[in-house]
Amino acid sequence: MSSPSHSPQEALAAVRHRIARAARAAGRAPEDVTLIAVSKQQPWERVEAILEAGQRVFGENRVQEAQARWADRGAQWPYLQLRLIGPLQSNKAADAVALFDVIETLDRDSLAEALVRAIAKAGRAPELFVQVNTGEEPQKAGVLPAEADAFLERVRKTHGLNVSGLMCIPPADEEPAMHFALLRKIARRNGIERLSMGMSGDYETAVRFGATHVRVGSALFGAREGFAASAASGQ
């Protein structure tokens, strides 16, 4: 058992407090920032503890893991909002459309096409964010910054999908602020209001740079299962 000061409920209160403080310091209203609790790879007891404390917005990075965990929870926990924050394969588009309220990782035309078909079939349309690979990292998903405007135009006009936000995951070894600023700039010139940026290590910075959604996992729940203690240092 972890000590009471590290209970999920206390961690939730602390993170919410820090978000509110960062928002006010930036002249923003705390309620303009939504906390996404990233529950991937976390034991259910920890997730349930923060559900009981009132948290309703959750992020998962894998469709199958999210289905197994969340598909039947809606009845017990009304007002849940589930957000896909990991890469989506086109052949899982139908499953993702059926489960998620928001898909944050649209980043290519083939996926846009698969989503259009899945949405038509399901009669249900999740909100969509486009992921931007602000650090231009080859191994990372997301549209390149230089291609973002053209991609957004195609998503909207060619594929006929609404995009309400942008999402980024800055390179682990770089100052995140410049990436947050870049994402905000791309959003502004494309008339997009929502920004999903900031994780456990940098969510207050992200709030300063205009994040409307921060994705926090380990700072809320502790290290993920299967993570070596060294990989979770900093928590």
Ligand X SMILES: *Cc1c(COP(=O)(O)O)cnc(C)c1O
User: For the purposes of burial, counting CB atoms within 10 Å of the CB of 118, is it exposed (0-12), middle (13-18) or buried (19 or more)?
Assistant: buried
Q: Give the residue ranges of DSSP H helices in 26-153.
A: 44-52, 63-70, 93-99, 109-122, 145-153
Select the residue interacting with ligand X from 166, 169, 192, 207 (CB under 6 A): 169
Q: Which is nearer to ligand X, 36 or 78 (CB)?
A: 36
Q: How far is CA 137 from CA 132, 133, 145, 174, in A?
A: 11, 7, 11, 12
Please pick, from the candidates 49, 63, 66, 216, the single residue that binds ligand X as defined by CB under 6 A. 216
217 binds ligand X (CB under 6 A): yes
Q: Lay out the site mask for ligand X across 44-63 (x = CB under 6 A, - = otherwise).
A: -----------------x--
Stretch that binds ligand X, among 73-81, 88-96, 180-188, 215-223 (CB under 6 A): 215-223
Task: Compute the C-alpha angle 109/91/224, nearest 5°.
Answer: 100
Residues in 23-42 that interact with ligand X by CB under 6 A: 38, 40
What is the closest distance, in whole angstroms, from the C-beta atom of residue 197 to ligand X in the complex? 9
**Residue 200 engages ligand X in binding (rule: CB under 6 A):** yes
What is the smallest separation between the CB atom of 60 and ligand X, expressed in angstroms?
9
C-alpha 195/C-alpha 34 separation (Å) is: 10
Q: Please, are residues 106 and 163 in contact by the beta-carbon 8 Å criterion?
A: yes
How many residues touch ligand X under the rule CB under 6 A: the total is: 13
Interacting positions 72-91 with ligand X (CB under 6 A):
85-86
* DSSP for residue 212: S
d(CA 148, CA 150): 6
Between 11 and 152, CB nearer to ligand X? 11
Pairing of strands 102-106, 81-84: parallel
Q: Which is nearer to ligand X, 124 or 173 (CB)?
A: 173
Q: Comparing C-alpha atoms, which of 223, 216, 210, 183 is closest to residue 83?
A: 216
Q: Does 208 bind ligand X (CB under 6 A)?
A: no
Taking the complex as a whole, the smallest distance from the CB of residue 126 to ligand X amounts, in Å, to: 16
Q: Provide, rounded to whole angstroms, the least separation between the CB of residue 92 and ligand X.
A: 16
Task: Classify burial at 150, counting beta carbons within 10 Å of its beta carbon; exposed 0-12, middle 13-18, buried 19 or more.
Answer: exposed
Q: Applying CB under 6 A, which of residues 11, 199, 206, 207 lies at the interface with ligand X?
A: 199
Q: How far is the CB of 210 from ligand X (least distance, A)?
A: 17
Binding site for ligand X (CB under 6 A): 38, 40, 61, 85-86, 169, 199-200, 215-219
